[in-house]
């Protein structure tokens, strides 16, 4: 997942070594995120009392600079070279997230006209840390349920079989449009096991009354994302894994019509990566089930206990036996 997101971020010409360096430093940064939030609240206090943790935090930032800044400079150089090339010479160019950030300009009256390298580094860090752990966690929960309920896995396999054409190597992006049961499985996975159980902190801009409770101006508000998706007033048998509940009508994950679940948040601060995340999940699940049969390790059930890390992960990571469905796998 890191390799995929790293290429979206820094371009598709990264070497294996560069991808490994990005993954290593981002993994450390993500695990460290809970400490950084302490510094946000008690900066002066933490400078003295939490010196060691602060030093560790600064070390991670320095390591990120060592890995990311050369990559940002490479994209800057490529941008300058491209400006002198014709369209014909430039055919294998793929736009990256960093390219869009380098092109960003603020209005002229702003005291800063464009982003600095350090701003771009922070945005790339946000892109990778917000995108990789969440999507990987969702994928693991969905596969865990397909192992736990082989009849659902089989029904999905039959749907894919009806869509993939003879001679195709795997499921293509266009094929996904013809797979309503796959979409239902992804939505049910996100409802039953949202990777983040609470939203990011939001604030109200003025005193607001909600169900007779006053939320004072600037008061911090977080939304209980998992509980909203498990509400028995909205969902029948909410703790069961039943993709069929999403088959009867098209479901709007953005919550613009009604809000019965919000694994990506809703409104202006909704996850900007939700479309990408849905595509990655559909594409990976379809191809993994098309290529392999997934079974529980003999004698072991699938334990769906949760553990809070940066995301809500499986307490006991999924252990499976996978067998290729086709001879050439
Ligand atoms: C299954 C996968 C994902 C889930 C469940 C998820 C969920 C969320 C949630 C709940 C929020 C906070 C929304 C709020 O507080 O209102 C969020 C924010 C964010 N997400 Fe995702 N996300 C996923 C994948 C991604 C991906 C793939 C990217 C980008 C590559 C991404 C980038 C972001 C960013 C940058 C923010 C912060 C937005 C802000 O500060 O306003 N996410 N995500």
Comparing 106-120, 133-147, 291-305, the range with the smallest average pLDDT is 106-120
Residue to substitute in 134, 185, 284 for testing ligand 1 pocket (most ligand atoms within 8 angstroms of CB):
134
Mean pLDDT on 130-144: 96
Residue-wise pLDDT for 53-94, tens only, equals 778 888 999 999 999 999 999 999 999 988 887 766 777 889
Tokens read off for 117? 């390298």
**Residue ID of nearest Cα to ligand 1 atom 7:** 264
H or E segment and range at residue 180:
helix 180-192
Residue 9 marked as a ligand binder: no
Torsion sign (Cα): 259, 263, 265, 266: negative
**Residue ID of nearest Cα to ligand 1 atom 9:** 264
Beta strands 208-210; 213-215: pairing state: antiparallel
The per-residue DSSP string of 220-241 comes to EE--BHHHHHT-TTTSSSTTS-
Instruction: Confirm if 75 and 10 have CB atoms less than 8 A apart.
Output: yes
Spatial distance between the Cα atoms of 253 and 19, rounded to a whole number of angstroms: 32
CB-based contacts of 8, cutoff 8 Å, min separation 6: 96, 97, 127, 276
- Which ligand 1 atom minimizes the distance to the CA of 8? 30
Instruction: Confirm if 193 and 243 have CB atoms less than 8 A apart.
Output: no
Tokens read off for 196? 């983040």
Beta strands 202-203; 306-308: pairing state: unpaired
> Percent of the chain at pLDDT above 90?
74
**Residue ID of nearest Cα to ligand 1 atom 27:** 131
pLDDT, position 226: 98
Instruction: Confirm if 139 and 281 have CB atoms less than 8 A apart.
Output: yes
**Residue ID of nearest Cα to ligand 1 atom 17:** 271
Residue to substitute in 223, 226, 273, 280 for testing ligand 1 pocket (most ligand atoms within 8 angstroms of CB):
273
pLDDT, position 44: 67
Is residue 109 very low, low, confident or very high in pLDDT (cuts 50, 70, 90)? low
pLDDT, position 64: 96
Residues with C-beta less than 6 Å from any ligand 1 atom: 5, 126-127, 130-131, 134-135, 138, 194-196, 199-200, 225, 263-265, 269-273, 276-277
Mean pLDDT on 139-161: 97
Residue with token string 């006991």: 316
Mean pLDDT on 193-222: 94
Residue with token string 């701003």: 119
pLDDT, position 108: 67
Is residue 46 very low, low, confident or very high in pLDDT (cuts 50, 70, 90)? low
Instruction: Check whether 38 has a pLDDT greater than 60.
Output: no
Instruction: Check whether 119 has a pLDDT greater than 60.
Output: yes
Beta strands 220-221; 202-203: pairing state: antiparallel
Comparing 146-155, 271-280, 292-301, the range with the smallest average pLDDT is 292-301
Which stretches within 193-313 are classed as H helix?
225-229, 274-291
């Amino acid at each position: 997942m890191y390799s995929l997101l790293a290429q979206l971020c820094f371009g598709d010409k990264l070497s294996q070594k560069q991808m490994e360096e990005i993954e290593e430093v981002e993994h450390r940064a993500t695990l460290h995120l809970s400490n950084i939030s302490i510094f946000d609240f008690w900066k002066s206090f933490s400078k003295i009392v939490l010196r060691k943790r602060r030093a560790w935090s600064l070390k991670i930032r320095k390591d990120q600079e060592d890995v990311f800044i050369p990559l940002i400079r490479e994209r800057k150089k490529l941008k300058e070279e491209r400006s002198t090339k014709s369209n014909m010479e430039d055919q294998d160019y793929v736009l990256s997230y960093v390219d869009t950030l380098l092109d960003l300009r603020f209005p002229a009256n702003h005291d800063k006209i464009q982003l600095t390298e350090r701003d771009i580094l922070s945005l790339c860090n946000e892109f990778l840390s917000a995108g990789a752990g969440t999507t990987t966690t969702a994928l693991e929960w969905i596969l865990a349920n397909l192992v736990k309920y082989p009849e659902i896995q089989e029904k999905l396999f039959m749907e894919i079989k009806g869509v993939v054409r003879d001679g195709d190597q795997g499921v293509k992006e266009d094929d996904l449009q013809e797979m309503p049961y796959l979409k239902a499985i992804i939505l049910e996975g996100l409802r039953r096991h949202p990777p983040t159980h609470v939203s990011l902190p939001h604030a109200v801009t003025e005193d607001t009354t909600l169900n007779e409770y006053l939320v004072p101006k600037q008061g911090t508000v977080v939304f209980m994302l998992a509980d909203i998706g498990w509400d028995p007033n909205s969902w029948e048998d909410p703790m069961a894994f039943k993709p069929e509940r999403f088959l009867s009508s098209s479901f709007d994950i953005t919550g613009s019509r009604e809000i019965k679940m919000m694994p990506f948040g809703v409104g202006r601060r909704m996850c900007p990566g939700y479309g990408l995340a849905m595509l990655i999940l559909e594409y990976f699940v379809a191809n993994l089930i098309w290529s392999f049969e997934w079974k529980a390790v003999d004698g072991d059930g699938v334990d769906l206990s949760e553990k809070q890390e940066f995301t809500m992960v499986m307490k006991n990571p999924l252990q499976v036996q996978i067998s290729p469905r086709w001879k050439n796998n």
